[in-house]
């Protein structure tokens, strides 16, 4: 009988959630839903020194905003609770002890000074990568080199120690990565990692393996930066007797800076002029302790569906020309086999494009809600039906919801200046006279629709011996002050005949006609 697919996202509460972490959560979620499985979230907070207040709640809010639904988590529970590693602390020591009893781990009593001296000796001997391993452990103070009685006395006296994995000296460690294929690493390149720290807390390596096993995780999808740790994790599964149920690994490609020069980091966002966090983060400067604010996609006006669609394509493609996907469509199309092993370059212009597409595709009534909310903040009230008309007209010029209100300003403010290029080329006494005549007849027209206004304008111009092309730009500038914008007939219809006539008359009075 096949196992139920169970994936997990396991962030550390050490600060805001980077978009690379959101992408990892998204790919886990898509795979779980595609295969009818479960999505878990586990908080990996074994390093209490790096814990940042508010970070856990930030993670929860970020995933909720993105629409990534959790089946089990610290917040909604589940059959494998608790879902914070700090609350699972008592269970890890037994597995470290199991490794010691089976000869796959050992106690190490080395002081920080002794460890520094070891690294200094290796560095002086020009060893390229000084580490505590199958060779150097023979010269250190641990339960493999000390007499059994001395080890017992040290433990009973409460001497500080760590528990290290005993990595074999000459062995190939191999596993089949779902993205990269077979990965083979020689054990001589793996150091004897600490599994339990002197404070009794497990390190990431032990806690991660134990929790994934106990939570019955079937697939571990994580960032490429964890690839070097994977062989160590394979050894832990083997030594704990869990190799038959070891999850399948998939290591995602790196996210690169827009210029392709290195990994996109948490520090790159505001420095490069775009967010790297889903939500705005309020933190403190590491050096000065002063409050800092890092921008977020939500507060910058990005829609969650656009953000998620963009992230999905950073390292994955559906094998078709389709670019716009709902979450349901992403779930249907997703497969881990179509995730690239090559790094994905971050393109801020592309995420803006996605936002434009999703914003413009929204119903006009929904766009009107964005518009009225922004206008209310400016102290401007607008009837709902008029807001819907305005939103429909200006949406093609908007990338963010806030752009709707900016583009709509022309409906609430008469021009205070007029485009000089258009005036110098298109404005003359004949045009001014025709526009004055048009403004005079406009309030009495029985049809104030865009078509009705255009018919009246055409009629007036024909009587004046003018064509619409000779007057249209000048009319636009008279009504809006600008040389370009949404459809002018629709603008005049929304403004109403009285307001439009007033604006034309104002322009005729203010602009000199040669």
Mind telling me the catalytic residues?
266
Please report, in angstroms and rounded to a whole number, the separation of the first and last CA atoms in the chain.
89
Nearest partner of 228 among 181, 189, 171, judged by Cα: 189
Distance of CA 270 to the CA centre of its chain: 14
Please say whether the beta carbons of 162 and 108 come within 8 A: yes
Q: Which residues pair with 228 in a beta bridge?
A: none
Distance of CA 155 to the CA centre of its chain: 47
Please say whether the beta carbons of 494 and 386 come within 8 A: yes
Q: Which residues pair with 72 in a beta bridge?
A: 40
Structure-token pair, residue 65: 């905003």
Please say whether the beta carbons of 31 and 51 come within 8 A: no
Q: What's the DSSP call for residue 343?
A: -
A 10 A CB-CB count for 449 gives 12
The string of DSSP codes covering 268-301 is HHHHHTS--BSS-EEEE-TTT--EEEE-BTTTTT
52: phi then psi, degrees, rounded to nearest 5: -120, 120
Task: Tell me whether the omega of the peptide bond preceding residue 82 falls within 30 degrees of 0, making it cis.
Answer: yes
Indicate the SS3 state at residue 86.
Answer: helix
* Helices vs strands, H then E, count in the chain: 20, 13
Distance CA 109, CA 106 (A): 10
């Amino acid at each position: 009988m096949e196992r139920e697919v169970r994936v997990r996202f396991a962030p550390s509460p050490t600060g805001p959630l980077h978009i690379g972490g959101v992408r990892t959560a998204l790919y886990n979620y898509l795979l779980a839903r595609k295969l009818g499985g479960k999505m878990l979230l586990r908080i990996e907070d074994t390093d209490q020194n790096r814990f940042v207040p508010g970070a856990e709640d930030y993670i929860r809010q970020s995933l909720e905003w993105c629409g990534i639904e959790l089946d089990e988590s610290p917040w909604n529970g589940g059959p494998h609770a608790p879902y914070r590693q700090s609350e699972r602390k008592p269970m890890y020591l037994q597995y470290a002890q199991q490794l010691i009893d089976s000869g796959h781990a050992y106690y190490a009593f080395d002081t920080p000074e002794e460890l520094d001296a070891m690294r200094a000796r290796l560095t002086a001997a020009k060893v390229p990568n000084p580490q505590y391993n199958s060779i150097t452990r023979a010269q250190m103070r641990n339960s493999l080199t000390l007499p059994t009685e001395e080890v017992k006395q040290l433990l009973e006296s409460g001497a500080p120690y760590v528990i290290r994995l005993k990595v074999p000296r000459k062995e190939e460690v191999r596993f089949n990565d779902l993205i990269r294929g077979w990965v083979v690493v020689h054990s001589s390149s793996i150091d004897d990692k600490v599994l339990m720290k002197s404070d009794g807390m497990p390190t990431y390596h032990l806690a991660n393996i134990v929790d994934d096993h106990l939570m019955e995780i079937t697939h571990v999808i994580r960032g490429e930066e964890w690839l070097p740790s994977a062989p160590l994790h394979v050894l832990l599964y083997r030594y704990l007797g869990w190799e038959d149920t070891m999850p399948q690994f998939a290591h995602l490609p790196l996210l690169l800076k827009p210029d392709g020069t290195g990994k996109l980091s948490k520090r790159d966002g505001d420095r490069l002029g775009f967010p790297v966090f889903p939500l705005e983060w309020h933190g403190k400067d590491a050096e000065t302790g002063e409050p800092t604010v890092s921008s977020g996609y939500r507060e910058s006006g990005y829609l969650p569906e656009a953000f998620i669609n963009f992230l999905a394509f950073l390292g994955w493609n559906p094998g078709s020309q389709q670019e716009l996907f709902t979450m349901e469509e992403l779930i249907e199309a997703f497969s881990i086999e179509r995730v690239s092993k090559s790094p994905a370059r971050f393109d801020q212009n592309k995420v803006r494009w996605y936002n434009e597409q999703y914003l413009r595709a929204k119903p006009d009534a929904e766009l009107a809600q964005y518009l009225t909310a922004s206008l209310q903040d400016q102290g401007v009230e607008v009837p709902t039906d008029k807001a819907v008309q305005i939103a429909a007209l200006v949406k093609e010029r908007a990338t963010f919801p806030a752009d709707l209100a900016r583009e709509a300003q022309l409906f609430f403010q008469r021009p205070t200046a007029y485009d000089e290029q258009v005036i110098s080329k298109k404005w003359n006494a004949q045009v001014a006279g025709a526009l004055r005549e048009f403004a005079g007849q406009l309030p009495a027209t029985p049809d104030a629709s865009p078509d009705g206004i255009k018919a009246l304008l055409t009629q007036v111009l024909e009587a004046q011996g003018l064509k619409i092309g000779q007057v249209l730009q000048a009319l636009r500038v008279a009504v809006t002050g600008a040389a370009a914008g949404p459809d002018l007939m629709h603008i005049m219809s929304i403004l109403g005949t009285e307001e439009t006539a007033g604006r034309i008359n104002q322009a005729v009075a203010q602009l000199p006609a040669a």
